[in-house]
Amino acid sequence: MSDGQTTDTVRRTTDPVLTVDNVTKSFGGVTALDGATLEVRDGEIVGVVGPNGAGKSTLFNCIMGVYELTDGRVELDGTDISSQRTDVIVNSGMSRTFQLARVFPDLTVRENMLINQEHRNERLVETLLSPSDQEVYDRADELLEFVGLEKLASSPAGELSTGQKKLLNIAGTLLSDPEIVLLDEPAAGVNPGLVDDIAQSILDLNDRGATFCIIEHDMDMIRSLSEYLYVLHNGTNLEQGEPETVLQKEAVLEAYFGQ
Residue ranges in contact with another protein by CB under 8 A: 64, 66, 85-87, 90-91, 95-96, 98, 102-107, 111, 114-116, 118-120, 122, 124, 126-132, 154, 172, 176
Q: Report whether 162 contacts 151 (CB < 8 A).
A: no
Q: Which residue from 203, 148, 211 is spatially nearest to 174, judged by alpha carbons? A: 211
Which residue's CB is nearer to another protein, number 56 or number 233? 56
- Minimum distance, C-beta of residue 244 to another protein, in the bound complex (Å): 33
Shortest separation between residue 176's beta carbon and another protein, angstroms: 6
CB of 181 to another protein, least distance (A): 12
Distance CA 221, CA 198 (A): 10
Taking the complex as a whole, the smallest distance from the CB of residue 22 to another protein amounts, in Å, to: 25
Got the DSSP string for 55-89?
Answer: SHHHHHHHHTTSS--SEEEEEETTEE-TT--HHHH
Residue 92 CB, shortest distance to another protein, in Å, is 9
Q: Which is nearer to another protein, 17 or 113 (CB)?
A: 113
- Which CB, 118 or 179, lies closer to another protein? 118
Whether residue 71 contacts residue 23, with contact meaning beta carbons closer than 8 Å, is answered with: yes
**Helix ranges restricted to H, the chain:** 56-63, 86-91, 109-114, 124-129, 134-146, 162-174, 192-207, 219-225, 243-246, 250-257
Provide the minimum distance between the beta carbon of 74 and another protein in the complex, in angstroms, as a whole number: 16
Of 48, 22, 26, give the one whose Cα is nearest residue 35: 22
CB-wise, 31 or 132, nearer to another protein?
A: 132
Choose between 157 and 225: whose C-beta lies nearer to another protein.
157
Contact, 208 vs 185, CB < 8 A?
A: no
Return the number of the residue (15 or 159) whose C-beta is nearest another protein: 159
